Chains A and B, each alone.
Chain A
Amino acid sequence: MNTDIEKLIDKYYKGETSLDEEKLLRDTLPSEEIKDEHTYDQLLFKTFQEEKEEQAPSSTKVFFQTINKPHKFIFSHKRMLYLTSGITACLIFVIGIIFYQLEQKNAAYVMINGVRINDKKLAVELVNENLYRVSTMIDRGLEPLNKAERMEKKLDSILKISNESFQK
């Protein structure tokens, strides 16, 4: 047996071998003629060599091949049907919202005693009638204020005229 190999074995058990040296041990020791004291070591490295050479079971290989394979999107009829029906449903939903909004924009109705009357003309008439009523009330309420404003304007013009005549 090569003395270098013996030295390497010692180094290995001390944990001082490099990866290349371990590879050398794995490759050469199983086939070397060895002393009896190194029978165990030869067996150990033989096992390491065998483990290295052992192939992964086919099922594992298939599994890794499958997960590493780039995903291809296949347009099957079923998938196309799901996709188109999904898009159609979304479109119907969006169009429905738009129509609902438009209808709300043009809607006008009246509810008397909890009974709904879909009469746009009546609704508009009632809106205008109520606004007119409020307007009248506001006009009446603001009349004193308007009078005061008018008086203030008149007073201003009187003061202006008197100032002008005084200057003359």
Chain B
Amino acid sequence: MLIAVVSLFFTNALQAQSAQLDSIFEQYSEKRSFTYVYASGAARLHEYLPDHRIANQINSVKFTKILTYERNRNDTIAKRLVSKVKNVLNSEKFELYLKLKDDDDIVEAYQKTYTSSKDVVLLISDDSDVIIIWLHGK
């Protein structure tokens, strides 16, 4: 039993990630008008994000979580979601390493390094959608 508990402890310890961010994704994934995608394993980052500023931040992606909300449905909900995510990113001391603003399009990229893993969060907002992409890997 002790071995089982110890192994459980170690598997959880190895998966260090933001619990608050996880809770936001879980909470909004069950709401109407939201699309949530979870995919484990390597995302084709280097293919789709040729820019070294993002793709080189994270090597082997363990999982990708994407939360999408159609802004035109209710702008207040979209703003509230962005504010919640930003609060978590600030409180958990994520580093903002890229910010782009082009008309209504805003892309913000945050990162946080743990002892054996890394989180990269992309916050995308345009006139139609709000997209939050969370990449967890090494």
Complex Cα distance, B100 from A70, in Å, reads: 77
Residue of B whose beta carbon sits closest to that of A113: B32
When distances are taken between beta carbons in the complex, the residues of chain B under 8 Å from A137 are 100, 102, 105, 107, 124, 126
Interfacial residues of chain B within 27-49, with CB under 8 A of chain A in the complex: 29-41, 43-45, 48-49
Complex Cα distance, B41 from A101, in Å, reads: 12
Residue of B30, B34, B64, B101 with most partner-chain A CB within 10 A: B64
B56 in the interface (beta carbon within 8 A): no
When distances are taken between beta carbons in the complex, the residues of chain A under 8 Å from B11 are 97, 101
When distances are taken between beta carbons in the complex, the residues of chain A under 8 Å from B39 are 107-108, 120, 123-124, 127
A112 in the interface (beta carbon within 8 A): yes
Residue of B whose beta carbon sits closest to that of A124: B39
B82 in the interface (beta carbon within 8 A): no
Q: Which B residues have a C-beta under 8 Å from some C-beta of A? A: 1, 3-4, 7-8, 11, 29-41, 43-45, 48-51, 53-54, 62, 64, 66, 68, 98, 100-102, 105, 107, 122, 124, 126, 131, 133
Which one of B38, B102, B124, B131 contacts A123 once the chains associate, using CB atoms below 8 Å?
B38
Do B50 and A135 touch (CB < 8 A)? yes
Which one of A104, A127, A141 contacts B37 once the chains associate, using CB atoms below 8 Å?
A127
A133 in the interface (beta carbon within 8 A): yes
Residue of B whose beta carbon sits closest to that of A111: B36
Question: How does the 8 Å CB contact mask read for A2-42 relative to B, with 1 for contact and 0 for none?
Answer: 00000000000000000000000000000000000000000
Complex Cα distance, B65 from A123, in Å, reads: 10
Do A130 and B68 touch (CB < 8 A)? yes
Given contacts A108-B41, A109-B37, A127-B64, 16 further A-B contacts (CB under 8 A): A90-B1, A93-B1, A101-B11, A104-B40, A105-B41, A106-B41, A108-B40, A110-B38, A134-B122, A134-B131, A135-B51, A137-B126, A138-B100, A139-B50, A141-B105, A142-B100
State whether A110 and B36 are in contact (beta carbons under 8 Å apart), knowing that A93-B4, A101-B11 are contacts in the complex.
Answer: yes
When distances are taken between beta carbons in the complex, the residues of chain B under 8 Å from A120 are 39
Residue of A93, A137, A139 with most partner-chain B CB within 10 A: A137
Smallest beta-carbon distance B8→chain A, Å:
6
Smallest beta-carbon distance B44→chain A, Å:
6
A94 in the interface (beta carbon within 8 A): yes
Do A110 and B37 touch (CB < 8 A)? yes
When distances are taken between beta carbons in the complex, the residues of chain B under 8 Å from A140 are 102, 105
